[in-house]
Amino acid sequence: MLSSLTAITFLAGALPVLQPTATGFRFEDGAGEHRLTIVRTAKHRAANLQVTHEVKAPKGTWTRVFQANDFVPTCEFDLTLELVKDSVQLSDADGDGEVELSFAYVLGCRSDVSPLTLKLLLYEGATKYALRGTNRVLVGQDEQGKPQFEGGDHQADPAFKAAAPLLAYAETRWKLALEALLSP
C-alpha cells in the first residue's frame, strides 16, 4: 500500500539534485532520502531491466514508491535493452511541488538497422505516465545525398490526457532521447 511517504515534496524553486551512485541515483527532499536502483540482468539470450524508486524517512525504513520492469525475450539476433544516456531526470513540470522522475530506454531484438522500441516513463509518486514508440535511425540517403530517417514517432498514455504539462515535458525529453540515440 502507498503511504504518505510516497508524496515527494520540496520547497518551491529547490528541485532536489539527482546524484549518481554505484547502483543508480539518490536524492534528498522533505520526505527523506530517495534511491533509484537500476538493475539490468541478462541470461539465456534474454534481458531484463528493473528500475526501483524507494524512499526512507529519517529513522524510517525503505518504502517502495514504484518499480518498473521490462524485458526482451530470447533473442537470436542483436539484443538491445538499455537506458538512454542522461535520460534519468527529476522535474516538477506541472509545478505542484511533487517531483517527477523520468527515464527513457530502448529495447529490441533485431538483425538489421531498423528502429528499436523506445519508451519514456515518467512517475509522479507512484502514478505512471508513458510515451511509447521507436527511436529514429539513419537508414541511408536519397539521390541528392539527403539523409533519410526512419522511426521516432510515439504514442502517449491516456494517463497524460489530464496532465498536459507533464505531456509537454515528456515530449521534450522524448526529443532529447531521440537525439542522444542518434549521435554516436
> What residues from 113 to 152 belong to the interface with Ca ion (CB under 5 A)?
none
**DSSP H helical segments within the chain, as ranges?**
164-182
Residue with cell 533509484: 36
Rule CB under 5 A: is residue 16 a binding residue for Ca ion?
no
Using alpha carbons, select from 47, 67, 53, 70 the residue that is nearest to residue 18: 53
Length of the chain: 184
Say whether residue 70 binds Ca ion (CB under 5 A): no
| Smallest distance, Ca ion to C-beta of residue 11, A | 14
Question: Assign residue 88 a region: left if phi > 0, alpha if psi is -120 to 50, beta otherwise?
Answer: beta
Contact between 98 and 9 (Cβ < 8 Å): yes
Q: What number of chain residues touch Ca ion (CB under 5 A)? A: 4
Query: From residue 74 to residue 93, what is the string marking binding to Ca ion with x (rule CB under 5 A)?
Result: ------------------x-
Q: 128 in helix, strand or coil? A: strand
Q: How far is the CB of 130 from Ca ion (least distance, A)?
A: 16
Pick 109 or 166: Cβ nearer Ca ion: 166
Amino acid identity, position 9? T
Residue 182 CA neighbour count, 13 Å, CB half: 18
Of the residues 98, 150, 157, 171, which one makes contact with Ca ion according to CB under 5 A: 98
Distances (CA, A) of 67 to 25, 35, 70: 14, 12, 10
Supply the minimum distance, in Å, between the C-beta of residue 78 and Ca ion.
37
96 part of the interface to Ca ion, by CB under 5 A: yes
Applying CB under 5 A, does 94 fall inside the site for Ca ion?
Answer: yes
Minimum CB–partner distance for residue 8 and Ca ion (Å): 9
Stretch that binds Ca ion, among 1-9, 54-62, 95-103, 152-160 (CB under 5 A): 95-103
Binding site residues, Ca ion, CB under 5 A: 92, 94, 96, 98
